[in-house]
Amino acid sequence: MRTAYCMALHEIMQKNNRVFALTADIGYRNFDDIIADFPKRFINVGVAEANMMGLAAGLAMFDKIPFTFTIAPFVTMRCLEQIRVDLCYQKLPVKIIGAGGGFVYGPQGVTHHAIEEIGMLRTLPNMTIISPADPVQTGKAIYATMEIDGPVYIRIGRNNEPAVYPAKYAYQIGKADILLEGEDISLIAHGSMVKNSLDAASILSQEGIRAKVINMHTVKPVDRKEILRCAKKTSGIITVEEHNVIGGLGSAVAEVLAEESVCPVFFKRLGLNDTYLKMTAKHADLQHEYGLDCEGIALIAKQLLFKKNTFYMDNRNFSYG
């Protein structure tokens, strides 16, 4: 995803001389072409993420379009005050790229894990939040952000993520992608959890369970219409995210369901249960430990469907009026 981001940004900078690339001392190999072709529009601020946001705000106020880049928790939580006041309050078109969303940087520990940043940024007015599923979607999301008149946070992985989309794919901010149709249960995911959800659906299909898989790549604004379609056409909804269950995609979907008074629908938020990771390990091992691999997702789906069936069996003679 890092490579896809830098390739897309390089292409954009070739076409638009208002675009600047900023980094906080990481990603040099990926920025080689940008540094070579546009040295005056590439700025390394050093390990000074908050200053990078102030610099980006200044550039944006002079009709430039800055893309800021570093590790996800550093580019968001270290800069929250600057993002709030300098970018969101003034609705400036600064693009914030956070690499290593979730716990991609597993062995580096809690300081490098991004499990709260979506919840924090989701509360800020004027902020758009995007979490692509693979490199193809990352590149297309970078292009799409050029049309947004305001700050954007794009949460990406690192590199070597598995493909989900073909090269020729039409991307639209704010519109969820239906990757697999199903009638029994909906798996609504973003980022690295999209591929895991597809694999979980494959496991479930072997047991006769038809799962619908949704890539909710735009966490804010969330696709309300697709959430309601899932609630009406499937028996349950599970949100799947590499994030605290509080404040992220699960909260966004829950808000829609509550406000629209959708009933009955069985609902489960799958993510980190308001905890920091208790171990450091490889990304895949952490996903397995916290039930966010395909087997863990499939297990939760079966448990939710069992709960639904038990509820209806227990209430088959109950009258609602």
46-73, pLDDT tens digit by residue?
999 999 999 999 999 999 999 999 999 9
In the chain, beta strands by DSSP E: 19-23, 42-44, 65-71, 95-99, 128-130, 152-156, 177-180, 185-189, 211-215, 218-220, 236-244, 266-272
Report the domain count for the chain: 2
Range with the lowest mean pLDDT among 96-100, 140-144, 158-162?
158-162
CATH value at residue 304: 3.40.50.920
Q: Are residues 128 and 216 in the same domain?
A: no
- Are residues 191 and 151 part of one domain? no
d(CA 148, CA 172): 12
Instruction: State residue 321's pLDDT score.
Output: 33
Asked if 309 contacts 294 with a C-beta cutoff of 8 angstroms, the reply is no
Torsion from C-alpha of 253, 207, 165, 31, nearest 10 degrees:
80
Report yes or no: 236 and 203 within 8 Å, Cβ to Cβ.
Answer: no
Q: Residue 249 is part of which domain span?
A: 177-314
Say what the pLDDT of residue 308 is. Answer: 72
Query: Does residue 25 or residue 181 have the better pLDDT?
Result: 181
- Whether residue 250 is contained in a domain is answered as yes
Q: Flag whether pLDDT at 314 surpasses 90.
A: no
pLDDT at 311: 56
Same domain assignment for residues 105 and 135 = yes
**d(Cα 173, Cα 141) in Å, to the nearest integer?**
7
29: CATH: 3.40.50.970
Same domain, 282 and 233: yes
Summarize the confidence of residues 116-135 as an average pLDDT: 98
Tell me which amino acid residue 160 is: N
Together in a domain, 152 and 17: yes
Q: State whether 108 and 249 are in the same domain.
A: no
**For the whole model, what pTM was predicted?**
0.94
